[in-house]
Amino acid sequence: MRTIDESIGHLRGETRYIDDLPEPKGCLHAAVRLSESARGRILSIDADAALALDPSVMVLRAEDLPGENQIGFTKPDEPVLPEEEWEYWGQPIALVLAETRQLARKAAAALVVHWEELPARIDPRAAAAGGDFILPSRSIVWGDAQKAFEDCAFVVSGRVDSGGQEHVYLETQGAYAEVRDNGTLFLISSTQGPTGVQRAVARSQGLPMNKVEVEARRLGGAFGGKEDQAALWASLAALGARASGKPVKLYLDRKTDFRATGKRHPYTSDFKIGADKEGHILAFEAEYFQNSGCSCDLSPAILARTLLHATASYRVPNGRVVGHMCRTNLPSFTAFRGFGAPQAFFVFEAALDALAQAMALPREELQGKNLYREGDRSYFGMPMKSVRAEEAFGRLKELTAWDRLKAEIKDFNASHRFEKKGAALLPVCFGISFTKLPMNQAGALVHVYQDGSVLVSTGAIEMGQQVSRKIRVIAARTLGIPQEWIRVERTSTLTVANTVPTAASTGSDLNGMAAKAACETILSRLKTKAAELLSSPVQEMDIHEGRLRRKGGDAAIGWKELVEAAHASRIDLSAHGFYATPGLFYDMETERGSPFAYHVYGAACVVVRLDVLRARCKVESAHIVHDSGNSLDEKVDRGQIEGALAQGLGWTLLEDLRFGPDGRLLSDSLSTYKLPDISFMPQKLVVDILPGRENPTTPFNSKAVGEPPLQYGLAAYFALLEALRAAKPQGETRYDIPFIPEKIHAFLSGSAL
């Protein structure tokens, strides 16, 4: 068994995150005072009681910012601290500094805030009715849906609701800031996007970006929650450092993190779908009401991915989909694994389920008839290449012996009055690239030192997904040396500038290709030197397992000797690599183009057992067939698939993110917000990896693995629905995530929730 070096520190508890780092002398701790209503006007803040606690206490407000009180870049609607009005329950309204964290939090609680309540809006449909949108709505129209519906033998419509989801990263939001020589700012931020933090801090501090250095070490999880949202906490830490002249650390406790940060976007949607008598889908319409929260954040990009995944894994010749970014007085909802696609998948699969019920056909029959095939074009005009939807779906049915499984479940249900089982299949077709085209780029810096050791720096952030390991694999394969000779450095805006967030499942693709390009530049120089040393053509030079060889010949020179010879000849052993994903384009006026480099395919089968009397369910088994290309590290990819499934199951069956009618977060702790644990996961979990295929836009024909598998969790929702229908065939179906016990009971009892 091979040990993964970077795992040893985790196992021993030695890995250091921001709150584990030694604090310099004089370091102050920061805390925030949060608002206590969904919307309010600040009349005054009395700091006397807080300041009386200790001489070290400082209280900072919006007027103390030396730069612009704004970190919203798509739209200027995100103040660092509110000047007059707050927009959600839990918004930071003042920053407090003190010698200790405990004292800072005590002082924050001692602030006396005088305020008046303002009208607030919580429901996205009400916001839409009032025309309160973050940005103008978007729509994609193709074919002639109106005429197609007239030709359909079956047409159904309905409503679909999906709740939000808390990130619950192990490491809460945090940042460290200090002022260095010449007024430069140095920050360590728990962020997926160092450049975004750099821009936000520079803007709010009135500095050029070259005077703000942001370092991102290993994160204790993120899942999208530290893509844009980390910028606020870094900006507050920077404010404290410049105002006090001392280093400042800001680190949130769990309850504050729950209350003050964004989550997965809740959606409420309407659909209409039609098919011919054989079950071929002819038309589809959907209207998505995205609960965007109080500010823009990443809502436009998330809505874009919803619209670009509106038909999930299926070809639909006619349709219209419309998305609204509804502004509400809730925390600004933000990126979360899947980034708007899971909400779209759920709407279409729910529509397909309703259609299957109307046609008295098995869902899987409709699924199989309508999957994307090679040569199809997506509804937004993208040619579908290397399509593996039918391959994955067929392989899954073979793996699970689907027909036999259904028969066994039917027999079980017939013989068990108070227990029922259900099974469902769910195919996945997930596009890989940022939907904002300029973000599909990355840089890397590679140094080869005189002793032959190699240092690689990229814009990729390690947050537990092992992107650093994959970049190490890529560099080792490219240079032809053992992985042990390579170190991947933490990310810094000094070494790699203008980074894009490690998000959208592009971390290994973009940064790996940039690192590969840098390594290839150095390799070319070394091969030229090797050809000179061996008096042979450059084309015959090959480096393998740390030894220079003539192709087809014996080892001639060791890697270290070659590097020393190159250095002695004054050959540059450093290189910057850059990669921009080719072939991407999208016209937002016509809503047509090819926004993705490729698609990831797969399918899942989930079996659920329902306890009818207790209104509880248990996921018995999950079988997954997944397309991960030529995996850079199959064990890592399998871990990502299983972890994504857990998060998907949690979203669909368990995690009840709940706000009160006044906008207050009710599920604000781990006692009121339930997460999937090991006992929640299926006892039987089988992951089958499809053979790799050529995929030239990625390192060594690999494929992204972070987000696509989350959709597999939706299979559990429909499996539970099948079990409920076995218990109560005439029950009223409400498509509503999460399917918690209260909703199970409502289905069985016929009561309103």
pLDDT 10s digits, 494-543? 999 999 999 999 999 999 999 999 999 999 999 999 999 988 899 989 99
Around Cβ 342, how many Cβ atoms within 10 Å?
Answer: 30
Burial label for 274, CB within 10 Å (0-12, 13-18, 19+), is buried
Q: What is the pTM of this model?
A: 0.96
**Cα 596 to Cα 583: distance, rounded to the nearest angstrom:** 9
- Tokens 């002695």 correspond to 568
From the candidates 166, 285, 462, 707, give the one annotated as an active-site residue.
Answer: 707
741 prior amide bond cis, ω within 30: no
Question: Residue 600: beta bridge partners?
Answer: 430
- What phi, psi does 482 have (nearest 5°)? -65, 150
- What phi, psi does 655 have (nearest 5°)? -80, 105
Task: Classify the C-alpha dihedral 82-84-89-95 as positive or negative.
Answer: positive
Cβ neighbours for 15, distance < 8 A, ≥ 6 positions apart = 9, 218
738 prior amide bond cis, ω within 30: yes
**Cα 171 to Cα 398: distance, rounded to the nearest angstrom:** 41
- pLDDT greater at residue 750 or residue 604: 604
Pairing of strands 735-737, 154-162: parallel
655-679 per-position pLDDT tens digit: 999 999 999 999 999 999 999 999 9
**Do the beta carbons of residue 12 and residue 638 sit within 8 Å?**
no
Which of 19, 113, 88, 77 has its CA nearest to residue 259? 88
- Tokens 């999880």 correspond to 221
Q: Which two tokens stand for residue 201?
A: 């801090």
**Do the beta carbons of residue 367 and residue 393 sit within 8 Å?**
yes
**Cα 708 to Cα 509: distance, rounded to the nearest angstrom:** 15
Domain boundaries, the chain: 26-119+167-260, 267-435+589-749, 441-580
**Cα 223 to Cα 186: distance, rounded to the nearest angstrom:** 25
CA–chain centroid gap for 597, Å, is: 18
**Do the beta carbons of residue 93 and residue 43 sit within 8 Å?**
no
Pairing of strands 248-251, 28-34: parallel
Taking residues 147-165, report their average pLDDT.
98
**Cα 391 to Cα 710: distance, rounded to the nearest angstrom:** 20
pLDDT band at 5 (very low <50, low <70, confident <90, very high): low
Pairing of strands 592-594, 585-587: antiparallel
The pLDDT assigned to 664 comes to 98
**Cα 519 to Cα 511: distance, rounded to the nearest angstrom:** 12
Tell me: domain 441-580, CATH 3.30.365.10, correct? Answer: yes
Taking residues 460-485, report their average pLDDT.
96
Cβ neighbours for 161, distance < 8 A, ≥ 6 positions apart = 266, 267, 268, 269, 734, 735, 736, 737
Taking residues 590-594, report their average pLDDT.
98
Cβ neighbours for 729, distance < 8 A, ≥ 6 positions apart = none
Residue 50 pLDDT greater than 80, yes or no: yes
- Tokens 């394969």 correspond to 477
Fold classified for 267-435+589-749:
Aldehyde Oxidoreductase; domain 4 (3.30.365)
**Cα 667 to Cα 669: distance, rounded to the nearest angstrom:** 6
Burial label for 567, CB within 10 Å (0-12, 13-18, 19+), is middle
- Segments in 35-178 forming alpha helices (H): 48-51, 101-110, 124-129, 145-151
Which of 514, 525, 462, 452 has its CA nearest to residue 488? 462
Q: Which two tokens stand for residue 702?
A: 């690999």
Q: Which two tokens stand for residue 744?
A: 């199970």
- Tokens 């690689």 correspond to 456
**Cα 248 to Cα 177: distance, rounded to the nearest angstrom:** 5
Per the annotation, the verdict on 78 as an active-site residue is: no
Angle between helices 363-370 and 389-399 (to 10 degrees): 150
Let me know the angle formed at the C-alpha of 69 by 66 and 74, rounded to the nearest 5 degrees.
135
185-225 per-position pLDDT tens digit: 999 999 999 999 999 999 999 999 999 999 998 999 999 99
Cβ neighbours for 148, distance < 8 A, ≥ 6 positions apart = 274, 282, 283, 317, 318
Percent of the chain with pLDDT over 70: 99
Q: Which two tokens stand for residue 423?
A: 């099974």
DSSP string covering 551-598:
TTS-EEEEHHHHHHHHHHTT---EEEEEEE-TT-EEETTTTEEE--SE
The pLDDT assigned to 12 comes to 85
**Cα 42 to Cα 562: distance, rounded to the nearest angstrom:** 68
- Tokens 């014996």 correspond to 554
131-155 per-position pLDDT tens digit: 999 999 999 999 999 999 999 999 9
CA–chain centroid gap for 318, Å, is: 30
The per-residue b/e assignment along 438-456, b for 16 or more CB within 10 angstroms, e otherwise, is: ebbbbbbbbbbeeebbbbb
DSSP H or E stretch at residue 600 = strand 598-611
Residue 311 pLDDT greater than 90, yes or no: yes
The pLDDT assigned to 694 comes to 94
Residue 699 pLDDT greater than 90, yes or no: yes
Tell me: domain 26-119+167-260, CATH 3.10.105.10, correct? Answer: no
pLDDT band at 4 (very low <50, low <70, confident <90, very high): low
The pLDDT assigned to 226 comes to 97
Taking residues 336-348, report their average pLDDT.
98
Q: Which two tokens stand for residue 48?
A: 């006397």
Burial label for 192, CB within 10 Å (0-12, 13-18, 19+), is buried
73-97 per-position pLDDT tens digit: 999 999 999 999 999 999 999 999 9
- Tokens 């009715």 correspond to 129
Let me know the angle formed at the C-alpha of 141 by 135 and 142, rounded to the nearest 5 degrees.
155
- What phi, psi does 43 have (nearest 5°)? -90, -45
Domain 26-119+167-260 shares a fold with domain 267-435+589-749 = yes
Distances (CA, A) of 376 to 280, 284, 304, 593, 663: 15, 17, 21, 14, 45
Question: Residue 160: beta bridge partners?
Answer: 269, 735
CA–chain centroid gap for 474, Å, is: 23
Residue 553 pLDDT greater than 80, yes or no: no
How long a stretch of residues is the chain?
Answer: 753
- Tokens 């609607």 correspond to 77
Mean pLDDT (the chain, rounded): 96
Taking residues 735-751, report their average pLDDT.
95
Taking residues 213-241, report their average pLDDT.
97
Range name among 34-43, 149-158, 540-549 with the lowest pLDDT average: 540-549
Which of 112, 110, 103 has its CA nearest to residue 28? 103
pLDDT band at 1 (very low <50, low <70, confident <90, very high): very low
